[in-house]
Amino acid sequence: MELLEAIPKFFNYGFLINALIVGTLISLCASLLGVSLVLKRYAMIGDGLSHVGFRALAVATVLNWAPLAVSIPVVVVTAFLLLRLSERGKIKGDAAIALISAASLAIGVFLMSLSKGMNTDIDNYLFGSILALTQADVALSVVLSIAVIVVFLLFYHRIFAVTFDETYARATGLKAGLYNSVLALLTALTIVLGMRMMGALLISALIIFPALSSMWLCKRFSAVTVVAAIVSLGCFFVGLLVSFVYETPTGASIVIVNLTVFTVFYLIYKIKQM
């Protein structure tokens, strides 16, 4: 009841409306991309990229530059690098991601501490803050998120093909490398846009949880994609509301709601198996 009563009050706060707009779009983008990333076993790329994003934000903070202007190109370039390493690097993909992820986190924390000492900025970057979103962030998020969604829909069948069977896709002349790059680019943009609200440590959950939850119950790729999107949006709204009412961290609240849905879907799957 308390949660439902809080909904009208929700719209009295400008920063919450910003969070609602950005969060809705990011949740949708993350869930759409998440299905392919999880199935291609690239889920950890999201985690690695968010840590790289944290490092980029730290550098921007130290140099007093615009955070997104620094982090977007850095994360996009890293996404392509990780993709290449996963495909044919001498270091195995998971080890490369772990290496880049840990190094980026360490460099980020180090730079931030040199700049101002350990302060609340680090907490905000690591665990997210809805207060961190400016009008400019919102505008950029809307434009880029719409671009991510449109590109995903345009290439939906091709993304399915490279996700299901890349060998076959390549053999039939599909430019699998190009579509993997599109996937990496869209993921990088989603990570950068979402990490200020969700935090560097939690943004990858937005990619992984909805996809995994929907896979318990759906057997068609299209159904998995649609249900993942619905789950992601639902979990975001409930998580944001919980965060608002109980004054809990936004990113953590959204992830806990996602975890709850994942557990419920798993139990339904198990019951159906009996």
Residues that bind other proteins (CB under 8 A): 39, 153-154, 156-158, 160-161, 164-174, 215, 218-224
Instruction: Give the dihedral of Cα atoms 78, 183, 101, 145; nearest 10 deg.
Output: 90
Least gap, CB of 145 to other proteins (angstroms):
19
The CA distance from 56 to 64, in Å, is 12
DSSP state of 132: G
The CA distance from 259 to 56, in Å, is 29
Least gap, CB of 163 to other proteins (angstroms):
8
The nearer residue to other proteins, 125 or 160, going by C-beta atoms, is: 160
Main-chain dihedrals φ then ψ at residue 128, nearest 5 degrees: 85, 155
The nearer residue to other proteins, 195 or 215, going by C-beta atoms, is: 215
The answer to whether the CB of 96 falls within 8 A of the CB of 85 is: yes
Q: Which amino acid is at 118?
A: M
Main-chain dihedrals φ then ψ at residue 57, nearest 5 degrees: -65, -40
The nearer residue to other proteins, 64 or 220, going by C-beta atoms, is: 220
- Length of the chain in residues, anyone? 274
The CA distance from 239 to 258, in Å, is 8
The answer to whether the CB of 221 falls within 8 A of the CB of 164 is: yes
Least gap, CB of 109 to other proteins (angstroms):
37
The nearer residue to other proteins, 39 or 43, going by C-beta atoms, is: 39
* Residue 177 neighbours by CB under 8 Å, 6+ apart: none
Least gap, CB of 200 to other proteins (angstroms):
29
Least gap, CB of 110 to other proteins (angstroms):
39
Least gap, CB of 239 to other proteins (angstroms):
25
